[in-house]
Structure 1
């Protein structure tokens, strides 16, 4: 049975991100190849992947070469670094679907590039990227930036398990207070 995965902020071809985010790679080629291998070790050919933005800094040909090597049916939600290119540019490069806005997934999850304001009483979870290694999580936020997940997409099943643990911990701390 096909699985669903979420990820963001690969920044393929962006050498400066290695220093900006203290990524454990010697150069951009090692980073790109390592992230492609990690993706394909995690995602099967029939799986679905929602990429929540900032996919590639390469030209269309370079981006297309990477996309065609990656397993899964790939949907892109445009990130701040993706928006200078049109939706059709990304489709031509190899994404199966592209959204300029967030997507509502399973009527409960808001998929966006940048985290949205969510107070603790809102009944939704914002799955997002953009903030790389920073922490901005709780019962209403889930950061899928590659820096948090060993440069691999994270499965919906794992997200659900982690959120359940967070909700239980939140209930426990509320009961103590």
Structure 2
């Protein structure tokens, strides 16, 4: 059975993100190796992954080498650091689908790179990245930045169940 995963803000090749976000890596190659291993530890070949932006700071060849190592059918929602490159660039490096805009998933989850304005009456949960170690308060937001989840993609069920639990509290 196919699983669906969500993750954001790997920043592959971005040396300074290690210090900016206090990532537990000595250098960028170690970060890359560990993040690929974490992805593949949960994502199977037939699974689907929504990457919510800021994937790589590397050139086309190096980015393609990383994407080729990652399991699953990969969908990229462009983040602020991805937008300097065209949709076709991202498709060429191996993403199966690329969206320049947010996506509504399963009629309930609003997938975007940056947190979107959500008031308490909106029937959606905004699954997002961009803000790294920070968190928005409220049941309408769910941050899937790698820093919050040990650099490991989360399943749809993990997010859904977390949202249901927070609504009950």
Task: Work out whether 1:110 is the aligned partner of 2:110.
Answer: yes
Q: C-alpha displacement at 1:15, in angstroms?
A: 0.3
Match of 2:139 in 1: 139
Whole-angstrom CA distance in 2 between matches of 1:7 and 1:126: 13
Q: Name the residue aligned to 2:100.
A: 100
In structure 2, the residue matched to 1:57 is 57
Taking the aligned partners of 2:137 and 2:155, their CA distance within structure 1 comes to 17
TM-score normalised according to structure 1 size: 0.94
Contact map agreement 1:78 1:99 (CA 8 A) in 2? yes
Pairing of 1:16-165 with structure 2 (within 5 A): 16-165=16-165
Paired residues of 1:137 and 1:143 also in contact (CA < 8 A):
no
Structure number with larger C-alpha Rg: 1
Q: CA contact under 8 A between 1:52 and 1:128: conserved in structure 2?
A: yes
Between the aligned partners of 1:45 and 1:148, the Cα distance in structure 2 is: 24
* TM-score, normalising length: structure 2: 0.99
**Cα distance in 2 between the residues matched to 1:2 and 1:124:** 23
Displacement after TM superposition at 1:127 (Å): 0.5
Judging by fraction of residues, say which structure has more helix: 1
* Partners of 2:156 and 2:17 in 1: CA distance: 26
Give aligned pairs, total: 169
92-101 vs 135-144, which deviates more?
A: 135-144
Three-state SS of the structure 2 residue aligned to 1:34 is helix
2:140 and 2:121 map into 1 onto residues whose CA distance is: 9
Gaps of 5+ in 2: none
Structure-1 separation of matches of 2:55 and 2:69: 14
Q: Offset of 1:138 from its aligned partner?
A: 2.4
CA drift at 1:135? 1.2
**1:95-119 CA distance string (max 9 Å, x none):** 0000001111111111000000111
RMSD: 0.6
SS at match of 1:89: helix
Distance 1:6 1:136 in 2: 17
